[in-house]
Amino acid sequence: MNQIHIILFYKFTEIENPEEFVEQHLDFCTNEGLLGKILVAKEGINGSLSGSQEQINKYKEYLTSQGQFSDINFKEEIGTFSPFKKMIVRQKKEIIRMDQDLDLNKTGKYISPQELMELYESNEEFIIFDTRNNYESEVGKFKNAITSDIDTFRDFPDAVKSLEDKKDKKIITYCTGGIRCEKATSYMIKEGFSDVYQLKDGIINFCQQYPNTHWEGKCFVFDQRLLSHVDPNAEPITHCIHCNNSCDRYQNCKNPTCDDFIVLCEKCSEEFNGCCSDNCVEEYKSYTIRKSKERQGYKSKDKRQLG
């Protein structure tokens, strides 16, 4: 079975002409047969790609040959299928949206996976703070972590309010690959937090170095996999939304007007048509009947026209 290499990367650095950068980048990736999604803004680059080892190596050489990206760090995983269907390179206002005026020269100090391990094993007091969305932390988090009850990173300032009385405490932030912590810690410093750190290269890097330690569950990713099995032996920390059995199988509710991320075991997915509630089941059934009638109607119309 052919291995698929999946890389995650970002860097905050000024890109003078994002539009031209996007065009050149898309041409290269398409010509090399890569799949994935890359966001480009004046503030930098944020992307995830999949391909063969040779294709990924060519991309790494291409990007790092450009001076400002010579030191960019790639987080890499191995899979059995591509988690992307097409190649997208898109210009954005921000490569990770927060809608805040931040000085990204003032961010939290980096802490390595080894240093975080030592903290867990010591008696030193510290707070570990998840900067990700609630549906991400629901299926996986660090031991004793404070999680953010937010649906989108733009709401992170609201999550910080829960730490208002802990501004002088040692706080370790983390996210999937590190990018959100750059802006999260910058915002926290702006708000007066005095001892803020960010886990270098995020969850994926930590779990690759220290599996079966202080990470609980699986790691949510924004591609077709939904869950990255960074620690294949980890027990689920979540339960099926219907039967409440231990489960970490994530999917979208099939009712298109809902589309929520839900934890759903295979048995219940079949029983409830992939939906999160009885109401969504009924709406989904009505939707499929309506779409079926529309398709039949179009066919009938086509036949009349042919006649």
pLDDT tens track for 61-76? 999 999 999 999 999 9
What single letter denotes the amino acid at residue 153? F
Least confident of 3-7, 12-16, 209-213, 229-233: 229-233
Token couple for 145: 């972590």
Burial (CB count within 10 angstroms: exposed 0-12, middle 13-18, buried 19+), residue 212: exposed
Query: What is the side-by-side strand order in the sheet with 74-79?
Result: 74-79, 4-12, 44-51, 35-41, 87-91
Is 4-91 in CATH node 3.30.230.70? no
**Is 127 strand, coil or helix?**
strand
Centre a 10 Å sphere on the Cβ of residue 158 and count the other Cβ atoms it contains. Answer: 11
Give the fold, CATH level 3, of 109-219: Oxidized Rhodanese; domain 1 (3.40.250)
Q: Where are the domains of the chain?
A: 4-91, 109-219
Does pLDDT of 1 surpass 60?
Answer: no
DSSP assignment of 91-124, as one string? E-S-SS-------TTS-PEEE-HHHHHHHHHSS-
pLDDT for 163-219, tens place per residue?
Answer: 999 999 999 999 999 999 999 999 999 999 999 999 999 999 999 999 989 999 989
Does pLDDT of 305 surpass 70?
Answer: no
Burial (CB count within 10 angstroms: exposed 0-12, middle 13-18, buried 19+), residue 52: middle
Stretch 91-112: mean pLDDT: 97
Domains 4-91 and 109-219 alike in fold: no
- Identify whether 175 is a catalytic site residue: yes
Given the DSSP bridges, would you call strands 127-130 and 74-79 parallel, antiparallel or unpaired?
unpaired
Does pLDDT of 276 surpass 90?
Answer: yes
Mean of all residue pLDDT scores within the chain: 92
pLDDT for 244-272, tens place per residue?
Answer: 999 888 888 999 999 998 999 999 999 99
Catalytic residue among 175, 240, 265, 275: 175
- Looking at residue 232, what is its pLDDT? 66
